[in-house]
């Protein structure tokens, strides 16, 4: 009776990744850390930020909602701007949850207005004056920015 091998021989090559590649990756990480440290220590100005223009229209919004995705948007005077159900809340609800998280981190009241701004260059931004948090909504795509543009137009 002959015996056949049932498993392939184990590979015992301890250099699956060449040492020069590991050293090159380590050097790259160290170079990035050095460059970032130098930029922070010398207060180098930020150059890759979205262009800011003058504000041509702004509106204060008070948002409330729940984890289902439903969100209600009101003016500071309590006037209803939009009542979006779980199927329509989407991005607006997601931004509301981010604002709530930032307010929780800063230990400020969860309710309160945020300011939605349209700049002369067409960009939309949202700013929370109670925490200093802001976001350029154009970075999230045209459909998502459009949801807030619609709120600004109401």
Separation in Å, CA 59 to CA 14, 88, 126? 63, 21, 10
CA 46, 50, 56: angle at the middle one, nearest 5? Answer: 130
For residue 6, the model assigns a pLDDT of: 58
Question: What is the reported pTM?
Answer: 0.66
Q: Which residue has the tokens 């948090």?
A: 133
CA distance linking residue 86 with residue 7, whole number of Å: 55
pLDDT for the residue numbered 13: 62
Q: According to DSSP H, which parts of the chain are helical? A: 19-41, 86-105, 142-153
Would you state the pLDDT for residue 7? 57
Task: Compute the average pLDDT of residues 13-38.
Answer: 90
pLDDT in tens, 73-109: 998 998 898 888 888 878 888 999 999 999 999 999 8
pLDDT at 27 over 70: yes
């Amino acid at each position: 009776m002959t015996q056949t091998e049932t498993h392939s021989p184990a590979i015992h090559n301890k250099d699956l990744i060449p040492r020069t590649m590991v050293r090159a990756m380590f050097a790259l990480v160290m170079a990035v850390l050095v460059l970032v440290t130098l930029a922070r220590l010398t207060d180098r100005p930020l150059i890759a930020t979205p262009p800011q223009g003058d504000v041509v229209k702004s509106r204060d919004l008070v948002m409330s909602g729940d984890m289902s995705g439903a969100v209600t948007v009101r003016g500071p005077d309590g006037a209803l701007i939009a009542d979006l159900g779980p199927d329509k809340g989407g991005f607006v609800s997601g931004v509301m949850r981010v604002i709530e998280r930032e307010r929780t981190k800063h230990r400020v009241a969860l309710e309160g207005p945020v300011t939605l701004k349209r700049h002369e260059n067409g960009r939309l931004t949202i700013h929370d004056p109670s925490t200093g948090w802001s976001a350029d909504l154009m970075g999230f795509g045209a459909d998502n920015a459009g949801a807030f543009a619609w709120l600004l137009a109401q």
